Amino acid sequence: NAGVTQTPKFRILKIGQSMTLQCTQDMNHNYMYWYRQDPGMGLKLIYYSVGAGITDKGEVPNGYNVSRSTTEDFPLRLELAAPSQTSVYFCASSSPRDRASATNEKLFFGSGTQLSVL
């Protein structure tokens, strides 16, 4: 029962390097999300997707890119890493219970990727 799987768990990058955070879910959820969590600051939405081929910006998209070619996978790309991107990154997925209103109350989260940019 894998749920949402994120890799890697830890990573250290140098300024200017690029990397992709991987996220895959096996629950056939339509919706997927990327959040970053800084200490004491809660979860900030970076990007989200409502289905394969559809992505949209969240609250803090600058410096990141995403793609959604399949229902299962939602990778997050950092092109030019900056110290401000040091954070813990969480991927999540969900499936709206009430499709008429698209209300979606339960997000399933991965275990996170701790990223440091030095």
Partner 1 sequence: QKEVEQDPGPLSVPEGAIVSLNCTYSNSAFQYFMWYRQYSRKGPELLMYTYSSGNKEDGRFTAQVDKSSKYISLFIRDSQPSDSATYLCAMSAGGSYIPTFGRGTSLIVHP
Using CB under 8 A, which residues numbered 34 to 93 contact partner 1?
Answer: 40-43, 45, 48, 50, 58, 90, 92
**Considering the complex, what minimum distance in angstroms separates the CB of residue 35 from partner 1?**
8
Nearer to partner 1 among residue 31 and residue 74 (C-beta): 31
| CB neighbour burial string for 77-96, b if at least 16 within 10 angstroms, e if fewer | ebeebeeebbbbbbbbbbeb
Site for partner 1, rule CB under 8 A: 4, 31, 33, 40-43, 45, 48, 50, 58, 90, 92, 94, 96, 101-107, 109-112
